[in-house]
Structure 1
Amino acid sequence: MNEELINQCGDELYTAWLERKTVAPLTERYPDIALEDAYRIALRYIDRRVQAGETIIGKKIGVTSKPVQDFLGVFQPDFGQLTSGMVYEDGATIDLGTLIQPKAEAELAFVLKEDLTGPGITAMDVIRATDYVVPCFEIVDSRITDWKIKIQDTVADNASCGVYVLGKTKGDPRKLDITLAGMVLEKNGELFSTGVGAAVQGSPANAVAWLANTLGELGIPFKAGEVILSGSQSALVPVTGGDELVCHVGGLGSCSIKFSGRSAV
């Protein structure tokens, strides 16, 4: 795809986010779209948000666990960028009217104390560079109609980023076994699903190392202070107004989020 078409697609996704609407899958309209094209489209989309006043504060890894891969029909990880406009406080209520077709997933977030620049980063490097980990929810939200996505569609759409919330309890990954720590997800007071860190590429730290190395090849480092969402340990959770979600991570604590209103779709 040439630069003009890359920018056109990025602008289309930015407008879709701004106006809370969806667009037809890019892979249907541009069957030859390459993964590299999709990442360039995502950069254009995020650049538009930055130009409008947001700042980049971290990264996210998507499509890392089998339940999410099976649901989406996408079988390799992707990544997106987190901005200051995506953050909610633990226990906050999200107005679904600000989203399009949201689904929630529970995972572990890493907050870095040191820069990490791949390639060559290992899981142990990630642990050493991490200030703390917290349980979190990511509310994924696709700008692609009916979540009809292939890997190029979700990559172009900034890995289907919506918003996210971080728990308040900070854990030391050098003292907590993040691979074996169990996660329990409750929806409206009832058990919805269970998970474990090993469901994410064998360990959430492996997923973060993968992203550090992938971005390193593109000349993009992880910066101290950035938030890295390591990928869902739960099945995707459909949400409607009035729902409340709580995830508990063994040895770490919990994170909660509520929803009000109706989403655009």
Structure 2
Amino acid sequence: MTLEDAYAVQLLQMERRRAEGRTVTGHKVGLTSVAMQRLLGVSEPDYGHLLDDFVHLEHAPVPVGRFLQPRIEPEVAFVLDAPLRGPGVSVADALRAVAFVLPALEIVDSRIRDWRIGLLDTIADNASSGGVVLGSTPTPVGEVDLRRVGATLHRNAELVGTGVGGAVLGSPVTALVWLANTLGARGVTLEAGHVVLPGAVCAMVPVAAGDTVTATFAGLGSVTARFVPGDQP
């Protein structure tokens, strides 16, 4: 299987989900840390789709039965208020298209047993995207330097991760630019209203029923996810 084959498999999955009535509400960027790129032997990120049923509101119960091997990681989510299409998108172009940023927790998941994934596995599996819990405190993107935003991750009140925005390709905005230009080369536009997850600021941690996870971002607020048994809220 080639890289293009893997993205074709991902797209077939999304077409099937759209035929079932789902809608695309955004995208995610993965493999944005040097450590993950080295682990998988790549030099650039990958991307996946976000669907409407992937999105969970803060504090609403998240049923773990909807996932196979869920893990969670803190991210700064971009919410767009203008279309963004490459190629040729610059940092300034990307920032102009952003309405605000939100604290977010991405739920990553994998069909590959024990997370023994390779690059083509994760791309075909929608970049290991399972869902996202969005915070409720919007911040204008011009009011914060996302490279320097520090974050902490707590699971059941225990500190399990720390990070900084610069861990994401040097800046989360760089990931947004990469996504717009990569999708643009495939004829795809990032639409107004869409959510973009640019990549995690620290390593993912596993979650299970009964866990409560909170990510706190300096200057951006916090977001909490509460995981419950079953597959219904």
What residue is the counterpart of 2:168 in the other structure?
200
Separation in 1, partners of 2:158, 2:213: 9
| Pairwise CA distance, 1:260 | 1.9
What residue is the counterpart of 2:158 in the other structure?
190
Q: 1:161 to 1:138 in 2, by over 3 A?
A: same
| Pairwise CA distance, 1:146 | 2.2
Judge conservation of contact 1:68–1:232 (CA < 8 Å) in 2: no
What residue is the counterpart of 1:117 in the other structure?
85
Separation in 2, partners of 1:85, 1:50: 11
What residue is the counterpart of 1:145 in the other structure?
113
Of 186, 210, 215, which aligns to 1:218?
A: 186
Q: 1:145 to 1:74 in 2, by over 3 A?
A: farther
| Pairwise CA distance, 1:170 | 0.2
Of 73, 85, 90, which aligns to 2:40?
A: 73
| Pairwise CA distance, 1:241 | 1.5
CA RMSD of aligned residues (A): 1.5
Q: Secondary structure at the match of 1:49?
A: helix
Q: Secondary structure at the match of 2:227?
A: strand
Separation in 2, partners of 1:116, 1:98: 31
Separation in 2, partners of 1:126, 1:166: 21
Q: Percent identity?
A: 45
Matches within 5 A, 1:1-265: 33-66=1-34, 68-69=36-37, 73=40, 75=42, 76-261=44-229
| 2:204 alignment partner AA | L
Report the count of equivalent residues.
Answer: 230
Separation in 2, partners of 1:74, 1:146: 19
Judge conservation of contact 1:140–1:161 (CA < 8 Å) in 2: yes
Q: Secondary structure at the match of 1:174?
A: helix
> Unpaired segments of 5 or more residues in structure 1?
1-32
Q: Secondary structure at the match of 2:143?
A: coil
| Pairwise CA distance, 1:120 | 1.1
Compute the TM-score of the two structures, normalised by the length of structure 1. 0.83
> Unpaired segments of 5 or more residues in structure 2?
none
Q: 1:147 to 1:255 in 2, by over 3 A?
A: same
Structure 1 segments, 4+ long, off by >3 Å, are 66-70, 72-76
Q: 1:194 to 1:60 in 2, by over 3 A?
A: same
Separation in 1, partners of 2:136, 2:100: 11
Most deviating of 236-245 and 131-140: 236-245
Separation in 1, partners of 2:199, 2:214: 17
Separation in 2, partners of 1:238, 1:253: 23
Q: Secondary structure at the match of 1:163?
A: strand
| Pairwise CA distance, 1:112 | 0.4
Q: Secondary structure at the match of 1:242?
A: coil
| Pairwise CA distance, 1:262 | 7.0
In our comparison, the structure showing a higher alpha carbon Rg is 1
Compute the TM-score of the two structures, normalised by the length of structure 2. 0.94
| Pairwise CA distance, 1:186 | 1.0
